[in-house]
Amino acid sequence: MHRYRTLLRIPGARAPLVASALGSLPIGMYILAILLLAREATGSFADAGLVNAAYSLAVAATMPLQGRIIDRVGQTPVFVVTATINAIALVVLVIVAQDGSGLGPMIAAAAVAGAAVPPIGTSIRTLWARLIPDPELRQSAFALDAIALELAFICGPLLIALTIAIASPAAAVLVCVGLELLGSAVFASSRASREWRGGSHELGLLGPLRARGVRTLMGAACGVGLTVGAIELGITAFAAGHGHRALAGALIAVQAAGSFAGGLWYGSRTWSSPAGSRLTALGALLTLSVVPLAAAPSLAAAFPLMLISGVTLAPTTAVIYLMLDFLAPEGTAAEATGWVLMAVITGAATGNAAAGLAVNGSGPHAGLAVGFAGATLTTLVAWFGRRRMVAPAVREQPFARVHSM
């Protein structure tokens, strides 16, 4: 824990870190809150799924664009615009859901809200290189960021459930809005965020996608998202098949707890092995951890197996962002992060869809097996792309940063 205490003592690091934790909570809340709001308004889970899909797809599609704008104008102006639009669009979504305006206006409002999600995840990861010159300590910062996200997925659904029990799905959406506005305001007003600047580059329209290492990391990140999305749907079907659908949320929270523990342990240690080798090893461990889950014999056995399957998730994510830190071409840090985040979200959506087809065709175990395919993808991409993920100037020191912020 000494590394985390050192991290929190770095000048300028504490405020954006706290703001990021606040702003990350809605990530674990919005999907469930919007789903329940739309379900209450339309009476149909299918229609509610369309509203959710509009929100999620808009988030994924606009992340690289937001990152490119941040690289040009800085973080604070983007936060002001996106937080304002996002809040207004979500309030409109609540209004049209409650007055019976129909599915179309709900989808439109959700899409606008998703397109304007404040870029806290993108921004906090690009701040670390400026605030933390020590590569090993920066690795702990990425791990801490992954841990905060897991906490969001543990605490977020619980807060949604409490809000709905006390009030309504509409109130739950508004609670998300309040948390996101608070987190965005604290983050954007922090000195580190206000002073952060990107830089110019001459990579043309493709930007960081011109770098093979960035594309490779996107593939690895997509595999992680595919794993999480498939397991989420597969374990829900598994719980429902055993007559306990309500336990699906608890099972997902157990996996998040495993990821939290794994990330906490990983970030507290010093690693001497190259980051590329570590990503391959973590991908292989993730793959192996999913195998027994895909063959879970009972609901009781699924709980410890979900815990095990989560242990390497946060460390794998931390290594991906650490490597992106030195592989993103100069002047593209935020946009490159946006592309990787888009890959994760796209992978999760694909995992949900593929696992759904597998469950319908062969049952819950087949859906969980799709998670195995996602973890295998991460491992293979990391292994075959390992030479692309070493910056030429740092072959002897694979953690060093090769561009300034």
DSSP string, 339-399: HHHHHHHHHHHHHHHHHHHHHHHH-HHHHHHHHHHHHHHHHHHHHHTTTTTS-GGGSSSTT
Q: Is residue 405 part of a domain?
A: no
pLDDT given at position 393: 41
What CATH number is attached to the domain comprising 328?
A: 1.20.1250.20
Q: Is residue 367 part of a domain?
A: yes
- As a whole-number percent, the residues of the chain with pLDDT over 90 amount to 31
Q: Is residue 251 part of a domain?
A: yes
Q: Is residue 204 part of a domain?
A: no
Q: Are residues 214 and 161 in the same domain?
A: no
Q: Are residues 15 and 154 in the same domain?
A: yes
pLDDT tens track for 67-83:
888 888 888 899 999 99
Q: Are residues 159 and 247 in the same domain?
A: no
- Greater confidence, 379 or 158? 379
Q: Is residue 119 part of a domain?
A: yes
Q: Are residues 4 and 87 in the same domain?
A: yes
Q: Is residue 72 part of a domain?
A: yes
Given a cut of 60, whether residue 379 has pLDDT beyond it is yes
Among 174, 198, 222, where does a domain finish? Answer: 198
Going by C-beta distance under 8 Å and a sequence separation of 6 or more, which residues neighbour residue 335? Answer: 64, 67, 68, 70, 71, 207, 208
What pTM, to 2 d.p., does this model score? 0.79
